[in-house]
Chain A
Amino acid sequence: MEHFRLFVLPFYAGAFFLLITLLCKYIYWFIGLSREQKRLFWRSLPTRATWKSVVEIFNESLLHRKIWRTNPLLGYMHTSFALGWFLLISVGWLETFVYFKGESVPLYVDIFFSYYVHPIFERNFNFSLIKDALLLLILVGVVLALFKRLYSRIMGMKRTTKHMLGDRVALTALWLIFPARLLAESLTSAEVWRFGGYVWTLSENTQLIPPGIGCGSFLTGSLGQWLADFLPARIIEAQHVELTAWWIYSIALGVFFVALPFSRYMHIFTEIPLIFLRNAGLRAAEKESSFDHFQVDACSRCGICIDPCQLQSGAGIQGVQSVYFLRDRRYGRLTDAVADNCLMCGRCQQACPVGIEQNTLRLNSRVKRAYPDSPNRYAYIQGKDLSTGEGKVGYFAGCMTLLTPKILRAMEQIFTAAGEEVWWADKNGGVCCGRPLKLSGEVDAARKMMDFNKNLFRQHGITTLVTSCPICLKVFKEDYALEGIEVLHHSEYLQRLLAEGRLKLRSGSETFTYHDPCELGRGSGIYEAPREVIAALGVLKEPAETREHALCCGSSLANTAIDDEGQRRIGEQVAMALAATGADSIVTACPLCKKGIAREATLPVYDLAEIVARAL
């Protein structure tokens, strides 16, 4: 123990604490998984999914490729910290291994290698050069991180996350680690430079380093030389200056490790099990599960989700975005005001570099907070059949379509033109599809409506169900389990009628721009059908943000918290973006989008069915 120094203790304490905390958390969460989830995980080992996970961990946890795509500077910053530090540790281990020829040395010798060994270039492969280069890489990242705090816009982010105390402690410690290391290594080098030293080995024959050589490489070596020249001899001689620097380094490491599990840096390690579990097929569900912990804690609070959020950019609502929702949920301080204030448009999910299932997590938080269902609820719907007509094709207008009768009228004309016999499920009113209730978290109550409608569809013997409302479409597809009944959005149905030649349309030179409804595009993956239909009628002009990146109209039923003015402002944002295409008119395929956009639009707004009916 002759080489033991007290300054290594903070590091030891921190590292030990971190290890125990992480193990406890991960094991506890894993035990909490359902039997089925565990089975999925064990089955995925070792399969192609395992390999995929390893590659993904390298790409995303170390290289951060998705962040590079958002902005190269931001990408560099994340890569420098993650990959740079990882390599610094790896190279350090390798150096120790080579240096001591595989013999085991205390861990502190490895971690504080420069202090103990005074590595010099002549001895062996130039590890010092690599380590200095890596340290420089990270230090540039630290400078960028500081810079980002001040001028986030240059890094492609209009807004960054507002952090809490735990994060600030961890962040300060993290930023301190690398400058402290630079200083400590340089001071050691300065001392060796001035007074010489010895190269520490396991055996007795230590190699002496004469003064004027120093140790380290271009960074720590040069800085050491500079310090040796400029600092008074008594300062360098007094070993406590060098030791203080190493104390600082060790304390910074220790503090960071202790703060890590309580801060956003929990993501560093949590992303690894998350990737394995996700590739094994685990998903978040309607009800909260233990798997959610892995997703919630994998959020790095990078804040990339803030900019795409239109609540922020359109309506000026702050503090409710996914990053804040996950934060509040993680620390058990989620409020209705945050949980409910989300359009669930999916734009943040699209941007999230960690691939967290934002919508599902938001939904299951709402389910947990929802008002409990009572057994007699909706008893009044029993036996209420207001449907009309008879046919193999059923048309479900949806509640909202009843307030946009032009869509209904257009569908009538289209069905007639195509010679389709139609059963009209809810032209005179009906029972809601259940999705709005589900989105508010009342899933058990929603189930009653779903069962009612499902029975109604069965009773009338339809084989195809067409709806012009993407909200209904999504719930029919995902929750109704309508075996034997094909569910189509009217855009798909119209595409089919055109392909089968059952509709003859007049094509013209009119230009249209198309707004992808969230529930239809990102929600159901239907992008081509409406575009094909528009192409059959005229020229399509895409807005700047389209398809997966399309804006939300702001009227989403998923948000029960937003006020009318907020909805109006988001609608205005979308209307302006669509008008900027220079098209003659705006086309969408959702009654809510139509109303939301038309409110502020300078161009006429049509549903897809309307422009088809017009061209018959």
Chain B
Amino acid sequence: MTGRVIIIGGGVAGMQTAITLDELGFKPVIIEKEASLGGKLCRWDRLFPTMTPAQEVLGDLLKRVEKTASEVRTSTTVSEIEEQGRGVTLSDGSRLDAEAVVVASGFDIFPAERKEEYGYGLYDNVYTTVDVERMFREGGVRMADGREPKTVAFLHCVGSRDEKVNQRHCSRVCCITGVKQAIEVKQQIPGAEIFSFYMDMRMFGPGYEELYRQAQQQYNIHFVRGRISEASPTIDHRIHIKAEDTLIGRPLRMSVDMLILAVGMQAGSSNVAFGRNNNIDLYPSGFLRPLNQFSGNVRSSSPRLFYAGTVTAPKNIGESINEGIAAAYQVAQTLNAAKS
């Protein structure tokens, strides 16, 4: 018994899994493809719905991981997970032996270039919500020429609920992210007019609906029910957008200084390789399918293969952290039962 448990991915779910496993007396090994731990959280500025600085949550997790006896291998990827979860093959070809494997490799951000009609990467001043977080961390939202935007349009569901890019699922957290960022832009630039184009607002978490209401009432964000069909540049380098105001039933045209695309979560690109393992099943969306969606959310069909976080579906940070704890306890249960 080595007690070694491999955790693939050092984002919030992976870090929490390591912390709990350490508490339970196991030896976690985190394999992280980036140079440092933290996953996508590193790119965020403030978190919905409480506006808590991302750094607070991240710093706390990092500190706690630090205190454990966890081994952390950064800039390393896993190319193959062994059938029964007794080890993995790393990108350098070496094999790492383990008692169990927890897959916490997370999601990928939908590449907005794939929705060519919105002109991301083609026109100035078309950004994604991920870019906006970076801008906030760097001091605030600015247009390409350095000025503050006076009119901003948010477009929800970019790369979510869109069969044309093979993304049928709802990414859940982009709605509230869009609302949060709209408020933040308004806080930064009180004179800005902000239009939010949505199909449905899915405010599933505690405090989300309240934030949405705040955005409407306190920050005067204009919510327009309709999906933008295309964006084009105007002569004065603004962005001309076309949508249907579906509540009125008439086409709507407007020019904005900035278009922000609320990009969704897509399945991690490594899932396909993991799926070569017969005990790992994929949803059509590419996310990993857990044993069941009720009592087996962190389990696979192999007793030594576990999941945590957004590798199985889009989730928020709290949910991902909870799954890290749940996965760690399930690992402990399985390994302790095997020991006795």
Contact = CB atoms under 8 A, between A and B. Distances in A.
In the complex, A touching B, CB below 8 Å?
yes
Interface of A: 402-406, 409, 564, 568, 595, 598-600
B166 A568 contact: yes
Nearest to A604: B113
Contacts of B114: 598
A405 B232 contact: yes
Contacts of B231: 405
20 contacts: A402-B230, A402-B232, A403-B116, A403-B230, A405-B116, A405-B119, A405-B122, A405-B123, A405-B230, A405-B232, A406-B116, A406-B122, A564-B163, A568-B166, A595-B116, A595-B164, A599-B164, A599-B165, A599-B166, A600-B166
A598 B113 CA distance: 11
B66 interface: no
Contacts of B123: 405
B56 interface: no
User: Could you say which of B116, B164, B230, B232 has the most chain A C-beta atoms within 10 Å of its C-beta?
Assistant: B116
Contacts of A600: 166
B117 A409 contact: no
A409 B122 contact: yes
B165 A404 contact: no
Interface string B204-240: 0000000000000000000000000011100000000
A120 to B, nearest CB: 74
A404 B116 contact: yes
Interface of B: 114, 116-117, 119, 122-123, 163-166, 230-232
Contacts of B164: 595, 599
B275 to A, nearest CB: 16
Contacts of B163: 564
B262 to A, nearest CB: 20
Contacts of A403: 116-117, 230
B235 to A, nearest CB: 10
Given A405-B231, A405-B232, 8 more contacts: A402-B232, A404-B117, A405-B116, A405-B117, A595-B116, A598-B114, A599-B164, A599-B165
Nearest to B115: A403
Contacts of A409: 122
A599 B167 CA distance: 11
Nearest to B163: A564
A595 B114 CA distance: 9
Contacts of A564: 163
Contacts of B116: 403-406, 595
Contacts of A404: 116-117
A205 B297 CA distance: 102
Nearest to B164: A599
Nearest to B118: A405
A405 B165 CA distance: 17
4 smallest beta-carbon distances between A and B, as pairs: A403-B117, A404-B116, A405-B119, A406-B122
Nearest to A428: B232
Contacts of A568: 166
A600 B163 CA distance: 12
B273 to A, nearest CB: 14
Contacts of B165: 599
A405 B240 CA distance: 13
A409 B231 CA distance: 13
Q: Which of B114, B117, B123 has the most chain A CB atoms inside 10 A of its CB?
A: B117
Contacts of A595: 116, 164
B210 to A, nearest CB: 38
Contacts of B117: 403-405
A384 B64 CA distance: 67
Nearest to B165: A599
A188 B190 CA distance: 108
A461 B231 CA distance: 30
A225 B211 CA distance: 101
Nearest to A600: B166
A404 B117 CA distance: 6
A555 B161 CA distance: 20
B119, B165, B232 pick with most chain A CB within 10 angstroms = B232
Contacts of A598: 114
Nearest to B235: A388
A365 B117 CA distance: 35
A540 to B, nearest CB: 24
A230 B232 CA distance: 90
Residue of A409, A564, A600 most packed against chain B (CB within 10 A): A409
A403 B115 CA distance: 9
B3 to A, nearest CB: 40
A406 B113 CA distance: 10
A97 B309 CA distance: 92
Contacts of B119: 405
Contacts of A406: 116, 122
Contacts of B122: 405-406, 409
A406 B114 CA distance: 11
Contacts of A599: 164-166
B324 to A, nearest CB: 32
Nearest to A404: B116
A595 B232 CA distance: 18
A138 to B, nearest CB: 53
A599 B166 CA distance: 8
B189 to A, nearest CB: 27
A72 B122 CA distance: 53
A595 B164 CA distance: 9
Nearest to A427: B232
Nearest to B231: A405
Nearest to B119: A405
A599 B114 CA distance: 8
A403 B165 CA distance: 14
B244 to A, nearest CB: 14
B5 to A, nearest CB: 33
B88 to A, nearest CB: 25
A166 B123 CA distance: 63
A599 B163 CA distance: 10
A406 to B, nearest CB: 6
Contacts of B166: 568, 599-600
A233 to B, nearest CB: 72
A564 B117 CA distance: 19
Which among A404, A405, A568, A600 has the greatest number of chain B C-beta atoms within 10 A? A405
A464 to B, nearest CB: 24
A568 B232 CA distance: 27
A598 B164 CA distance: 10
A595 B230 CA distance: 14
Contacts of A405: 116-117, 119, 122-123, 230-232
A302 B1 CA distance: 68
A496 to B, nearest CB: 26
B75 to A, nearest CB: 24
B339 to A, nearest CB: 45
B254 to A, nearest CB: 15
Nearest to B117: A403
A335 B231 CA distance: 40
A576 to B, nearest CB: 15
A330 B194 CA distance: 62
A595 B166 CA distance: 13
Nearest to B229: A403
A568 B167 CA distance: 13
A156 B261 CA distance: 51
A599 B164 CA distance: 7
A241 to B, nearest CB: 66
B236 to A, nearest CB: 15
Nearest to B166: A599
A598 B111 CA distance: 13
Contacts of A402: 230, 232
B118 to A, nearest CB: 9
Contacts of B230: 402-403, 405
B54 to A, nearest CB: 32
A600 B166 CA distance: 8
Nearest to A572: B166
Contacts of B232: 402, 405
A404 B163 CA distance: 17
Nearest to A429: B242
